[in-house]
Amino acid sequence: MKLIDKFGRKHRYLRVSLTDKCNLNCLYCNPLNPYIPNLKKSSLLNYNEIIRLITLFIKDLEFDKVRLTGGEPFVRKEIENLIYKINLLKQNHKFELTITTNGTLLNGNISHLLKTGLDRINFSLDSLDPLNFQKITGYDKLNNVINAIEDYEKHSNQTTKINTVILKNINDSEILDFIEFVKNKNRNVRFIEYMPFSGNSFADNKFISYKEIKRIVDKKYKLIPLTNVHGGVAKNFKIDGYSGRVSFISSISDNFCADCQRLRITATGKLKNCIFSSADRDLDLKELLRNGFSDSEIRDAIINKVQEKQLNHPELNELKILKNNNMFSIGG
């Protein structure tokens, strides 16, 4: 059964946040002030619950892509065991299992992770300058990320996707540095617009639109448009004369809501129709799981909830005042 909303969008991509914890403290996610304490373990979905939900989405709702996120997913203990058990579902169902990480905790473990069942690893990296990296993340771990990316490329023939949130007067001066970083490699830098979330101190003077970012790239490089996959979030380009690629994710200035195929499960088990949906409008899957609801009852609740999905996310002025919508527990 395909999961189709009232606008005819077929949903096939599930993002599951494993934890609200992260070993970095990025400016656009969870600034040092105010400090937001981590959730209790009992508030999070346990691994059996996560596997049950993923099985339901793949088996009953025909989802064919699952991405594990956080916080930082590798902060959670025994994640390799979870990946292995999810991968077992591929014996009967075809889907892609991926993960997004800041790369600082992989420590030469990438070969094992790929053998365990991961199809792809995406990396978050917002600066190539050690001092600026520390300013953005709060930690001196740039070399850890670079080493993880290079290790991944030794063991995978997949294009390395690098997610980079651009903030004006913070790291916009590094836009061309990132092009240099990817242009001669099988890499794809994906420039992401800064987005407002609860507690992330969003400021208009830090926002830079994808058109402004692209204008900077266009001054030095010719970008050739690539055919975008239906339901994809990025505007994709080949760098003329080079093997690398560059993409733009314009969540704020030019949203892609009309083609959205994603659903998100937060670390606490809330189903989100949209990354920007207010927490009080989310479906509490954890409550259903822990109160004895059957798979068919949970499936029906999901189907009904998706019919409430709006055509577009709210305007920026509304997004700025959303409550209880923290990026680190949603999973980006």
Q: State pLDDT tens for residues 172-223.
A: 999 999 999 999 999 999 999 998 876 666 788 999 999 999 999 999 999 9
Residue 317 pLDDT > 80: no
Q: What pLDDT shows up at residue 209?
A: 96
Mean pLDDT of the region 93-101? 98
Model confidence over 251-297: pLDDT tens digits? 888 888 999 999 999 999 999 999 888 778 899 999 999 999 999 99
Q: What pLDDT shows up at residue 286?
A: 98
Ramachandran quadrant class, 91 (left: phi over 0; alpha: psi -120 to 50; beta: rest)? alpha
Rg for the chain (alpha carbons), in Å?
Answer: 19
Among 207, 203, 208, 325, residue whose Cα is nearest residue 276: 325
Mean pLDDT of the region 224-240? 86
For tokens 């002030």, name the residue: 33
* End-to-end CA separation in angstroms for the chain: 26
- Residue 180's domain comprises 3-330
The H or E element containing residue 241 is none
Model confidence over 301-313: pLDDT tens digits? 999 999 999 998 7
As a whole number of angstroms, the distance between CA 37 and CA 21 comes to 9
Could you tell me the CATH number of the domain that includes residue 324?
3.20.20.70
As a whole number of angstroms, the distance between CA 109 and CA 95 comes to 23
Q: What pLDDT shows up at residue 154?
A: 97
The H or E element containing residue 163 is strand 160-166
Using CA atoms, how far residue 166 sits from 3, 41, 202, 213, in Å, is: 33, 32, 13, 8
Among 115, 120, 117, residue whose Cα is nearest residue 149: 120
Q: What pLDDT shows up at residue 256?
A: 85
| Whether the bond into 34 is cis, omega within 30 of 0 | yes
The H or E element containing residue 145 is helix 142-155
CA geometry: angle 150, 328, 100, nearest 5 deg: 25
As a whole number of angstroms, the distance between CA 304 and CA 5 comes to 9
Model confidence over 22-64: pLDDT tens digits? 999 888 876 655 445 567 888 999 999 999 999 999 999 999 9
Flag whether the pTM goes above 0.75: yes
Spell out the residues 6+ positions from residue 162 whose beta carbon is closer than 8 angstroms to its own.
Answer: 122, 123, 124, 125, 149, 178, 181, 182, 187, 188, 189, 190
Model confidence over 60-80: pLDDT tens digits? 999 999 999 998 999 999 999
The answer to whether residues 102 and 50 touch, using CB atoms and an 8 Å cutoff, is: no
Give the chain's domain count. Answer: 1
The answer to whether residues 167 and 194 touch, using CB atoms and an 8 Å cutoff, is: yes
Angle subtended by helix axes 175-182 and 210-218, to nearest 10: 60
Q: What pLDDT shows up at residue 247?
A: 97
